A and B are shown apart, each in its own frame.
Chain A
Amino acid sequence: MSVLAVAALILMLLGMLAFPLIPSLTELHNQRDAKPLSVIQEHAGEIRHFASGFRNYISGLRPALQQCVATGTTAHGVLPDGCEYLILGKTVKFPEMKMRDKEPLCELVVLAGTLLKTPDNTTFAHEIYAGEDLVGGENCTYRAILGEKNIRLAPGTTVMRWVHSLGTFSTDHHCDLFGRVSSDRSIHLGVNTQFLRVNAPRIELGSLAIIDDRDNDAPVFGDTQSRIVHRLLVDGDYEIGPKEVVTGSVVSRGRLLIRSGAKIHGSVKSHHELTLETDVIVDGSVISASKMTIGNNCLLHGPIIAERQMAIAAGTRCGSSTQPTTISSPRIDIEEGVVVFGTLWAREYGRVVVNL
C-alpha cells in the first residue's frame, strides 16, 4: 500500500513536472519547425527581380503575341494559374471594361505587341507587358509594367508594385511610384512625384535636370593647396572652410558643415546633421547618421547615405555615367534639377519637389 502510494506520488510529481514541457517535447519529436532559417542564396537584391519573374511567367504567351502582331488581331485566354489575359496585336481602343467606383477596372494581364495607349482613369489590377512604347492615360493605376521600349506615364498615375523599362521611363507631375522603378537607359520623374526605389544609369528629377559636361567626368583635384588629413576623427562639430581642399576622410562625431566650393578628396561622415553648401565636390562617400542637406550644384561621387532624412538641392550631380552610385535614406526630398546616376532609394518616402 505504502509503496504504491509513494510510486503514485512520484509518478504524479513527474507528470506535473513534465506537463509544461508537453509543447517542447512535441516539437522535439515532430520537428515541425526544424528547418534552417530561410536565406535565399541566389538573392542579390536585384531591382529587376520581379520584372524577370514576370517575363518568365508570360514566356508561354510569346508565340501567341507574335501571331497577334502579325495578323493585327487580339486574343483572350487563361494562364495556367487561372489569370485571364488579353493580347493586343494592334493599337486599338481598349475593350469595354467593368466599372468599380464609377471608374474602369481591367482585371486582365495585358500583353501588347504594338504601341499601347491606356485609357484615362483606369485601374489595371494585373501586370502589363508592352512590347513597344507604352503611353499611359491620366490618373491611371497600374499594378506593374514591363516595357521592352519606352514608357511614359501621365499626370496623376499610381504604380503599386514595380515598373521596368528597357528603354526610357518618364512620368509627368504628381505621380506615385510605390515599389521598384527601373530602366536600362534613363528615368525622368516629374515634379511632385513620389518614389521609393529607383534605378537607372541616369535619373533626372524634374524638367530642370539637363545633360551637362559634368555628367561623365571624374572630379578634378588640380589644387595644390590641399590639406592632407588621412582620416580626421573629430569629437564634436566641425567645419570645412569655403573653397578649402582636403585630401583624406573626415569623420565628425557632432555636426559637419562643408562650406561653398570646398573639395574633399575622400569621404565625409557626421554623427549629427551634415550640411553641404553650394558647389561642394566630394569624390568619396557622404554619410550622416542623422539628417543631410546638400546644396546647389554639388558633385558627389560615392554613396550618399542619411540615416534619418535627406534634402538635395537643384543642380547637384550624384555619381556620374562612369561611376554610378546609391542615394539612400528613409526620407528624401529632392529638388527639381538634380541628376542621379545609379540608385535612388527612399525606404519610407521620396519626393521630387519644385523648391526645398
Chain B
Amino acid sequence: MIIPLYIIVAIICIYTFRHYWFTLNRLFGFQRHPYIDTDTAEWPPVTILVAAHNEEKVVANILGALMTVKYPPEKMLIIPVNDRSTDRTREIIDEFVERFPGRIQPFHRKEGKGGKAAALKDAMELVKTEVILIFDADYIPGAGLVKQLVAPFFDPEVGGVMGRVVPMNCGANLLTRLLDLERSGGYQVDQQARMNLRLVPQHGGTVAGVRLSALREIGGWNDASLTEDTDLTYRLLLHGWKTAYQNRSECYEEVPETWTVRIKQIMRWAKGHNQAMVTYAIRLALGRHRATLRERIDGTLLLGVYAIAPVTMIGWILALGVFYQGVAPLHGLIALFGITAYASVGNLAAFFEIAAAVRLDGNRQRVSLLPFLILGFSVSIFAVSHAAWSQLVGLVRKAEFHWDKTERFRKAT
C-alpha cells in the first residue's frame, strides 16, 4: 500500500511544481507574443467554420459579429456548420445568407454521426482555403480577432492556433465567477506559460485555427474523439506541427450558469482528455516522432491532468489505509514535515496560479473569491473521478461514447 502511495505523492508533487513553474514564468519570464504585431500582410484566404447544434439563442450574434471583422471580405468565407439542429438555427443562418450574399455558405447537416468533430469532418468538403478558423456558436469575435488568429499561420511550423477565451456572463452567479477565475488561470497563466516555454499550448477547438495541409497530413478530424481539440493538439504535435497560443486574441464566450451543466461539461472534457491520454501518452512519451524532449514531457503531463483527480482520490484512500494500519511512512517525522510542507506550499499552487492570472489581467476585487474555488475544485474532483470511473466501466461493457452539447443561457436575439 505504501509504494503506490509514494508514487501518487510523487505525481502530485510533479504537478505542483508545474503549477509554480508556469506561474513564475508568467510573472518573471520572457513573454512570447511573436505574431501579434503582424498587422500588415498579404492576408491569405480564410474559411471560418461556426459549429452550431441547436444554437438559435446565439448563432445570430456570432454571424453578426463576423460580418463586421476587419479582414478583406473577398478573402473570408463563413461556413455555419448547422449540425442537425431542430430549432430555428437553420432559419436564422439562412436569413444571414440572404442579407450578406456571397459571404456565407451554409452547411446544413441533416443526418450523420453526432458530435462536433463529425460535423466539422463532413463540412470539410466545402473548405478550399489553407487557413481554417473555428468558432463555437456562442462566441462573439471582435473586429481584429480574425487577423490575429490568421497571423501565426505565416509561420511555416504552425499547424494550429488558439486564442484566449473570456467569459462574458461571469457576473451571473457564484459558479460563473468561479469559472471566470479558472479560465483566467488556464489561459493567462497556463497556456501563455506553455507558449513562452515552447511546450504544448493546447488547441481549444474554438477561437482557434488549423492549417488545411497539416490537418490533411494528420488524417483530418477524428470523429471518434469526444474532445476533437485535444486530439488535434496531439496529432499535430506528433507530426512536428506547433500549436501557437495568442493570449491577446481574446474572444467572449458564455460559461455554464448551473452546476448540472458544468458537471456535464467537465465530465465530457475529462472523458475526451482521458481518451486522448490512452491513445497518445505512451506514443508521445516514448515513440519516434517529431516532438522535442520538452514537448514530450509537458505533453504527457498535460494528457494526465484529468487523471489527477481520480489519482488524488485513490491517494486519499491509500493514506487513510496506511494511517489505520499504523504505518508511519519515512519514520513519521519526515512524513510529518512533508505533509506540513505540502499543506503550506503544494495546496496553494493552483490558487497561486489563479491569483497571478487575476493580477496579470489587472483585476483586483475578484481575487477575494479565491477561497470559494475549493467548492469548484471539490465538484470537479468528484465529477472528473466519476467520469473516469464510468469511462472504465464503459470500456469493459464496450459502450459507445455520447457527445453532450453544452446548454446555452443567453436570451435569443
**Residues of chain A whose beta carbon lies under 8 Å from any beta carbon of chain B:** 20-21, 23-24, 26-28, 31-37, 39-47, 199, 231, 233, 235, 249-251, 253, 266-269, 284-285, 287, 289, 301-303, 305, 307, 319, 323-326, 328, 342-343, 345, 347
Measured CB to CB, the nearest residue on chain B to A347 is B37
User: Do the beta carbons of B166 and A328 come within 8 Å of each other?
Assistant: no
By CB atoms of chain A within 10 A, which of B40, B142, B151, B166 has the most? B40
- For window 133-163 of B, CB contacts with A under 8 Å fall at 140, 142-144, 147-148, 151, 154-157
The complex places the Cα of A319 from the Cα of B252 at a distance, in Å, of: 34
B37 to chain A, nearest CB (A): 4
Q: Which 5 A-B pairs have the closest CB atoms?
A: A33-B365, A249-B156, A44-B144, A34-B171, A342-B40
User: Do the beta carbons of B37 and A324 come within 8 Å of each other?
Assistant: no
Whether B112 is near chain A, meaning CB under 8 Å from some CB there, is no
Contact of A24 among B70, B155, B169, B370 (CB under 8 A): B370
User: Do the beta carbons of A41 and B65 come within 8 Å of each other?
Assistant: yes
User: Do the beta carbons of A324 and B42 come within 8 Å of each other?
Assistant: yes
Measured CB to CB, the nearest residue on chain B to A201 is B40
User: Do the beta carbons of B252 and A39 come within 8 Å of each other?
Assistant: yes
Measured CB to CB, the nearest residue on chain A to B140 is A41
User: Do the beta carbons of A325 and B371 come within 8 Å of each other?
Assistant: no
In addition to A33-B365, A305-B154, A323-B42, 14 A-B residue pairs with Cβ atoms within 8 Å of each other are: A24-B371, A27-B369, A28-B369, A33-B366, A34-B171, A36-B180, A37-B166, A40-B142, A231-B156, A231-B213, A303-B41, A303-B154, A305-B38, A343-B39
Whether B174 is near chain A, meaning CB under 8 Å from some CB there, is yes
The complex places the Cα of A3 from the Cα of B190 at a distance, in Å, of: 51
Whether B372 is near chain A, meaning CB under 8 Å from some CB there, is yes
User: Do the beta carbons of A267 and B155 come within 8 Å of each other?
Assistant: yes
The complex places the Cα of A347 from the Cα of B34 at a distance, in Å, of: 11
By CB atoms of chain B within 10 A, which of A26, A37, A345 has the most? A37
Can you give 8 contacting A-B residue pairs, CB < 8 Å? A24-B371, A33-B365, A36-B166, A233-B157, A233-B240, A328-B37, A328-B38, A343-B38
User: Do the beta carbons of A302 and B142 come within 8 Å of each other?
Assistant: no
Measured CB to CB, the nearest residue on chain B to A231 is B156
User: Do the beta carbons of A31 and B171 come within 8 Å of each other?
Assistant: yes
The complex places the Cα of A227 from the Cα of B290 at a distance, in Å, of: 23
Contact of B143 among A42, A301, A319, A345 (CB under 8 A): A42
User: Do the beta carbons of A39 and B171 come within 8 Å of each other?
Assistant: no
> Would A305 and B41 be within 8 Å (CB), given that A27-B369, A233-B157 are in contact?
no
Residues of B within 8 A of A35 (CB): 170-171
Contact of B156 among A43, A285, A347 (CB under 8 A): A285
Measured CB to CB, the nearest residue on chain A to B240 is A233
User: Do the beta carbons of A37 and B142 come within 8 Å of each other?
Assistant: no
A310 to chain B, nearest CB (A): 12
Measured CB to CB, the nearest residue on chain A to B239 is A233
The complex places the Cα of A96 from the Cα of B191 at a distance, in Å, of: 57
Contact of A325 among B32, B40, B364 (CB under 8 A): B40
Whether B260 is near chain A, meaning CB under 8 Å from some CB there, is no
Measured CB to CB, the nearest residue on chain B to A27 is B368
User: Do the beta carbons of A326 and B166 come within 8 Å of each other?
Assistant: no
Measured CB to CB, the nearest residue on chain B to A249 is B156
User: Do the beta carbons of B143 and A43 come within 8 Å of each other?
Assistant: yes
Whether B361 is near chain A, meaning CB under 8 Å from some CB there, is yes
By CB atoms of chain A within 10 A, which of B39, B41, B156, B157 has the most? B156
A27 to chain B, nearest CB (A): 4
Residues of B within 8 A of A328 (CB): 34, 37-38
Whether B263 is near chain A, meaning CB under 8 Å from some CB there, is no
By CB atoms of chain B within 10 A, which of A27, A43, A235, A267 has the most? A27
User: Do the beta carbons of B140 and A302 come within 8 Å of each other?
Assistant: no
Residues of A within 8 A of B166 (CB): 36-37, 39
Whether B251 is near chain A, meaning CB under 8 Å from some CB there, is yes
Contact of B171 among A20, A36, A46 (CB under 8 A): A36
Measured CB to CB, the nearest residue on chain A to B32 is A307
> Would A26 and B368 be within 8 Å (CB), given that A268-B156, A303-B154, A325-B42 are in contact?
yes
Whether B292 is near chain A, meaning CB under 8 Å from some CB there, is yes
